[in-house]
Amino acid sequence: MPGTTNPFRPSFGVSPRVLAGRTDLLQDVDVALDEGPGSPLRSLLVSGARGMGKTVVLNELEEIARTRGWLVLRLPEGPDMLTELETSTVPALLAEHDATAVRRRFTGAGVSGVGSVTTEVEDRYPVHRSLTRLLERLSDVLAVHETGMMFTLDEVQDADPQVVGRFATVYQHLVRDEREVAFAAAGLPVGVDQLLRQGGTTFLRRAERVHLDLLTDEEVAEAARATVSDAGRTLADDAVAALVEIVHGYPYLLQLVGYHAWRVDPSREEVTVRDVHSTRPLVVERMGRLVHAPAVAPLPEGQRSYLRAMAVDDGPSSTREIAERMGVPMQQQNVYRARLIDRELIRPTSHGFVDVTLPYLREHLRAQPR
């Protein structure tokens, strides 16, 4: 009897059982950790649209670091990022890993259970150790074991750019001193661009910028077959072709379509083309609610109107016809067009034509009340 446990994992940020299409990037970072300080891929900015697997890539990078014995520090969200690192996260790691921690006093660290020997000099001249000094000490401790630390930051677009800029300054000091450190951040393209425009992030502008593209049809098919096969079932050839067509190279949809096709009858040995086709209405609804609605909601009205004007067409739209539908001059149309391309919601297909980037965005727009 085939396995009944569903092997697909259509939750945002959860690593799939079979990772599709990101092997080269992960191998390059793996090599970068071997190459030592100065390797360019030790500082990495990953961008891509929602559901393209940015968080999954961060998860995999963290796992690569952990298998080498490195510490992984996920940067806290919000304006208190540096305070939390300085007063809680890093002191706690020092207390755990520094054999001399019981003989050191980190004034203001606020870590309970760490013993200290107070001297008269310390009482008279208390020293508050900065985040830079704490991280330098942690680096010294890890160097004894020939390991390092990786910092990761997800959802860059939600972070305070000024706070991230100040962290970048701290990280730059560690890199200049040739410490064993690495940094990887992920976010929407607009969020990454905003971060790099922030003062104090000059150093991060020299980080490697990786944009996650759609998966190829071959990558989708291979991952789908392997996921189903590893779980004890088979995926019919026509079912593979149907799945590729519905997924459109979108990593999140690979997991979503596979998950619901599997659920049609888990006790049956083969996942059929009918099982796959049955998922399409749910895919359109789920993409609209979880991906398209959050992407469209913050847009200015002019950009939303532009998308609605595009949704009339079944394929690429003429920019001149879009301007006519909106009742705006071509120059104004060009402004909306440029903004939506920057947000990766539309893309130019040929001279004077654009199309939506995300699968099923057109269906979502058509379903919305005017």
CATH of domain 23-211: 3.40.50.300
> What is d(CA 58, CA 164) in angstroms, rounded to the nearest whole number?
17
> What is d(CA 280, CA 272) in angstroms, rounded to the nearest whole number?
14
What confidence score (pLDDT) does residue 13 get? Answer: 72
Q: What's the angle, vertex CA 64, arms to CA 61 and CA 65, rounded to 5?
A: 90
What confidence score (pLDDT) does residue 122 get? Answer: 41
What confidence score (pLDDT) does residue 362 get? Answer: 94
Q: Is 187 helix (H, G, I), strand (E, B) or coil?
A: strand
Q: Is 149 helix (H, G, I), strand (E, B) or coil?
A: strand
Q: How many CA atoms lie within 13 A of 175 on its CB side?
A: 20
Decide: 45 and 192 in contact? Cβ < 8 Å.
yes
At the top level of CATH, the class of 299-367 is mainly alpha
**Tokens encoding 276:** 């796959």
Decide: 274 and 7 in contact? Cβ < 8 Å.
no
Distances (CA, A) of 193 to 41, 46, 51, 156, 197: 19, 11, 19, 10, 6
Decide: 112 and 118 in contact? Cβ < 8 Å.
no
What confidence score (pLDDT) does residue 53 get? Answer: 87
At the top level of CATH, the class of 217-287 is mainly alpha
Residue 189 CB: number of other CB atoms within 10 A?
17
Domain ranges of the chain: 23-211, 217-287, 299-367
pTM attached to this predicted model: 0.80
pLDDT in tens, the chain (370 residues): 565 789 999 887 778 878 787 888 899 999 999 988 888 889 999 998 888 889 999 999 999 999 999 999 999 877 889 999 999 999 999 988 887 654 444 444 444 443 443 444 344 434 457 899 999 999 999 999 899 999 999 988 888 888 888 898 899 999 999 999 999 999 888 778 877 877 667 777 888 899 898 899 999 999 999 999 999 999 999 999 999 999 999 999 999 999 999 999 999 999 999 999 999 999 999 999 988 999 999 999 999 999 999 999 999 999 999 999 999 999 999 999 999 998 889 999 999 999 999 899 999 999 987 6
What confidence score (pLDDT) does residue 200 get? Answer: 66
Decide: 2 and 267 in contact? Cβ < 8 Å.
yes
What confidence score (pLDDT) does residue 38 get? Answer: 84
